[in-house]
Amino acid sequence: MAADQPGSRRYAALDVMRGIAILGTLGTNIWIFTGVEGLVGYVNGTGLATGGWAPVQAVLQQCTQGKFLGLLTIMFGIGLAIQQRSAQRRGLPWPGGYSWRAAILMFDGAVHFFLFTEFDVLTGYALTGLIVAFVLTTGVRAQRVWMWCAAVVHAAMLALISLALSSASARQPQSLSPNPYAEGSFVDLVFFRLDNLVFFRLEVIFILPLSIALFLAGAHLFGARILDPDRGPLRRRLMLVGLVLALPLDFALGLFGGDAGLVLGRYGTAPVVALGLLAAIAHRYADGREPGTVGRAVSPIGRTALSCYVLQNVLCSVVCYGWGFGLAARLDGSTIVPATVALFIMVSATLVVVSRLWLRRFERGPLEWLTHAGYQRFARTDRKPVTASV
């Protein structure tokens, strides 16, 4: 899109937001990869840093815990609103063939889950997007009712789980034996995910109301023109609530609240912080400012967000799991923090370089291209748009 076209500045800001969200999710998930027992060990609390590295690990994990996943979820909602407006401008029905797009994303997520990572979010986004696509056909007032009802349901579920965790007795970490992450083959891990499908997909089910609320919040904020220069008061209110009020509370819960605090932070305060992050990034570019060094580095990642999300998990799997280089099994409490930070830097740099080089020759990322081609094929987007009768 040409720089002098109305709204082009907004899309530049959105690319930066998506790129930051993708790297932020890597900052959360990379600790799962470098743990010798993968997601199971991460949930059970095994493989933690020791000595002086323990508080460093806790702070680093809390910096990203849930916040960038929340930002990415909001960005999906904004993307859905953009797709709806695009369809309306072209005279196409909505949601029309969007169900095909959701089905393709669901397939991508399922493949991603079984082959590389049991904490995949794409399947959850596909289901949420399908629901919200139909909600967006209702009026603004109805959408707000949906958003607040979903938020209330999530808050009630979160309160019950947090209460149960706070009243539960301290649990002793148990080792995973045999350990397919360190000792198993690629195929062993695939069958391990299949055998534990329900356990690994519980989070997707639990956060469905939250995801619906954040999708609708993103669509609502886009409709409220949060990216426009004259929406400074809205952005400042979100930054006040998300960064001044929610962020300190989030750190307090995560660092000192035990298991219940971690859950309250990840699924309670972190999404509010994400809204503040969105507002802060939008405010940075609202006056038409061109992306700086950081913005230029992460924008290509944002334009190839789906491909980069999958690529980062593939790279970490190859480096950390036993069927690859087996890094995680070689780490202990004294080395896990520096090794994880080094891996994060290397993978992030790879994403920056690869995404930029790819976009020099292609308009879309590889998975974005496959998704678009599949959508065109199955949804038959070549059919004539619907026109209103005179």
| Tens-digit pLDDT string for the chain (390 aa) | 333 333 444 467 899 999 999 999 999 999 999 999 999 999 888 889 999 999 999 999 999 999 999 999 999 999 999 999 988 898 989 998 899 999 999 999 999 999 999 999 999 999 999 999 999 999 999 999 999 999 999 999 999 999 998 887 666 667 788 999 999 999 999 999 999 999 999 999 999 999 999 999 999 999 999 999 999 999 999 999 999 999 999 999 999 999 999 999 999 999 999 999 999 999 998 888 888 899 999 999 999 999 999 999 999 999 999 999 999 999 999 999 999 999 999 999 999 999 999 999 999 999 999 998 888 888 765 444 443 332
Kindly state the helix (H) or strand (E) to which residue 22 belongs, with its residue range. helix 8-34
Tell me, what DSSP letter sits at residue 168? S
The per-residue DSSP string of 217-240 comes to: HHHHHHHTTTTSGGGHHHHHHHHI
Do residues 107 and 378 touch, judged by C-beta distance below 8 A?
no
Sequence-distant (≥ 6) Cβ neighbours of residue 288 within 8 angstroms = 9, 229
CA angle 118, 121, 122 (to 5 degrees): 110
Do residues 338 and 306 touch, judged by C-beta distance below 8 A?
no
390 located within any domain? no
Question: What are all long-range contacts of 255-264, with beta carbons under 8 Å and residues at least 24 apart?
Answer: 255/58, 255/59, 255/62, 258/165, 258/166, 259/165, 259/166, 259/168, 260/162, 260/163, 260/165, 260/166, 262/65, 263/158, 263/161, 263/162, 263/165, 264/158, 264/162
- Interval 159-178: pLDDT, tens: 999 999 888 766 666 778 89
- Positive or negative, the CA dihedral 365, 126, 153, 140 is positive
Tell me, what DSSP letter sits at residue 198? H
> Could you identify the residue written with the tokens 């992460």?
298
CA distance 115 to 124: 17
Q: Which residues of 75-89 are buried (b: 16+ CB within 10 A; e: fewer)?
A: bbbbbbbbbbeebee
How many residues make up the chain in this entry? 390
Q: Residue 137: count other Cβ atoms within 10 Å of its Cβ.
A: 12
Please tell me the total count of domains within the chain: 1
Residue 389's pLDDT is: 31
> Could you identify the residue written with the tokens 């139909």?
134
- To 10 degrees, the CA torsion angle through 324, 330, 333, 336? -40
Q: What is the pTM of this model?
A: 0.92
Residue 300, preceding bond cis, omega within 30 degrees?
no
53 located within any domain? yes
1 located within any domain? no
Give the residue numbers spanning the domain of 85: 8-377
Tell me, what DSSP letter sits at residue 386? P
Residue 169's pLDDT is: 66
CA angle 346, 301, 369 (to 5 degrees): 125
186 located within any domain? yes
Q: Residue 381: count other Cβ atoms within 10 Å of its Cβ.
A: 16
> Could you identify the residue written with the tokens 């009020």?
245
Here the tokens at position 283 are 């405010």
Residue 171's pLDDT is: 64
Do residues 210 and 151 touch, judged by C-beta distance below 8 A?
yes
- Interval 288-326: pLDDT, tens: 888 889 999 999 999 999 999 999 999 999 999 999 999
Q: CA nearest 204: which of 293, 135, 118, 322?
A: 118
38 located within any domain? yes
CA distance 296 to 342: 22
352 located within any domain? yes
The per-residue DSSP string of 138-155 comes to: S-HHHHHHHHHHHHHHHH
Chain CA centroid to CA 137, Å: 25
363 located within any domain? yes
30 located within any domain? yes
Residue 11's pLDDT is: 64
